[in-house]
Amino acid sequence: MTSISNWRTCRYADLVGLWCALGYAALAVLARRPGEPDLPAFFLIVAWTSLPVFGLYVYCHRRGELFPLGRLVLWAVVFRICGLLGGPIYEDDFYRYLWDGYRFAVTGTPYGAVPEAFFSDSGVPAIFHGILNGINYPELPTIYAPVTQIVFLLAYWLKPGSIVALQAILILIDLVTIALLLRLAPARNVMLYAWCPLVVKEIAFTAHPDGIGVCLLLAAIVLSQNHRWRSAAICLGMAVGAKIFALVLVPLVLVGAGFRHWVLFVLTLAALYAPFVIQGGTDFESLLVFAREWEFNSAAFGFLATVLHPFHAKLVLGLLCAAFWGHYYIRYCRNRTREIPRCDWLYGVLLAASPVINSWYLLWVLPFAAITPSVSAWTASVAVLLAYVTGLNLIDGELQPYQPPAWVRPVEYGLILLALAFDLFRRQSTGLGGRVSR
């Protein structure tokens, strides 16, 4: 009977995998055409590739089925190959990645000089003149941290100016993330991440580098679970050196470590930044501009900023986030079992308070939402893609390029709030403690 059940699960997995592969192949074809894909076609593909995956997870979860590991990896690779063949859509950040890799290779640092200073520089190779023309905010130096810059440099060494080289590296890193998740959660949970449309779109198609920091953070968690504190501290330093978001989890991961491991974490981070500080530039300048001036697709901040000055809104939300983090930290320290931190909660609260919520920021939530699945997190993985409904992608002259129509945020966050209410009701009615079923 068990063999028949396993055969049926494999068949369903292949059917869903093939169904989703057709969707990603269609998206790759649309991505190769001039201009951006029509938004209705994009959201049809999102529904096409997300709903069957959610259904397959529910089927396996309710029946207690073991998800076939080979199918999980096979189709995850197929989906990402579609992204590699398709290329970036709705984004132009990749121009900055390619430019940073070039500057790092030829000068030893991507920091300091702003791209607009090179618009008329005849010494820049022709391919990079085209890349320069695509960079947004060329008046600002790069905002990307040292470990991310090392990946950009590696892509440059593989093939200068090639987005495909960078996509391939980031896809490999994402596959390592999937392997790490399989150390922390059952395969049917990991399938939610490995087959997630947002993950495939933002990493495989669009080459957003947030997966670098997430992968290093997961490696640190796996290592800390095995009490390999030295390696965990180094991975944490590299994770923060990839993106400052990782700093949120450092005290929780190192809570059982010794003082020397904290020193090792600090030394790792210092070693990553020191060469660039010596040369006179880091990512901090643009990070400060970002924190001070930018707002896009915000949730709680967007609401609070309608009644308070933006600075005061940031202050209030920052204090609330700190209070939530402090409360969680105290509870976590009292829990001697040292379960995996609820990073989905911590990053979810951080994003809810943030003035900027880009869809790829969910890459910091979804791996941990695979460890402990929730309706709200996976609803958010689809709803947040509404952030791409802007004047630029609608080609609507009445809207600013990055301005959404008035209906977008109520729908986006309304769906997430409804899912969150469902999670809270289910938690109270069943007394779920959030442990992972292995």
15 is written with which tokens?
A: 């059917």
Q: Provide the whole-model pTM.
A: 0.94
* Low-confidence residues in the chain, pLDDT < 70: 1-5, 336-338, 430-438
Residue 356 β-bridge partners? 296
